[in-house]
Amino acid sequence: MKRKEREVAQAAHFLGQEFILWLYWRSSSDPYFYLESFGLGNVDLHLEEQITLESLHGEGYRETIQTREIAEHDDVRTSIQTGRLPVATRVRVARGKAEWQFVLTALPLAMKSIKLPVPDKGADEETVHLRLIQMEEIDNIMRALFQTFLIERTNDTFVADIKRFLGLE
């Protein structure tokens, strides 16, 4: 891998970790995200079942915390306070009657093992078409959330707000 490509990959890794941290922060205080400006309406997002955190410095300690509701588990916040950032988590997103579940990873920043909403019974061709639409919809939702994160990240109070939430200030 060329030097420039390596630098881009490292930057993307950092943004991926920050994005998952932002999702943890935002979904802990209010799981509803308003994406009207993207033409997507409102979505409900929860980090569930497990989150994997990795040390920023030192020996590269990594831990996975398993619990039904990540936002309510004190060990997650404590782990972040000690210098670990999320590298992967299970996510549940609901919009209207549709619900998706998947694993979100920081490097690469990607959705994996996506469980799509179950379409109404229909012809095989129609079911395939609906599943493709559902894949496109969750991709659009996550892109809108990432764009929202990037906009908020440029806010002067972003770092102070997260530190306050984590009890670091």
Query: pTM (2 decimals)?
Result: 0.85
Question: In this structure, what is the dihedral angle of CA atoms 67, 70, 72, 74, given to the nearest 10 degrees?
Answer: 80
Q: In sequence order, which residues have a C-beta less than 8 Å from that of residue 82 and are 6 or more positions away?
A: none
Comparing CA positions, the residue from 112, 141, 140, 119 lying closest to residue 32 is 141
In tens, the pLDDT along 35-54 reads 988 888 899 999 988 988 88
Residue 1 has pLDDT above 60, yes or no: no
The residues spanned by each domain of the chain are 3-161
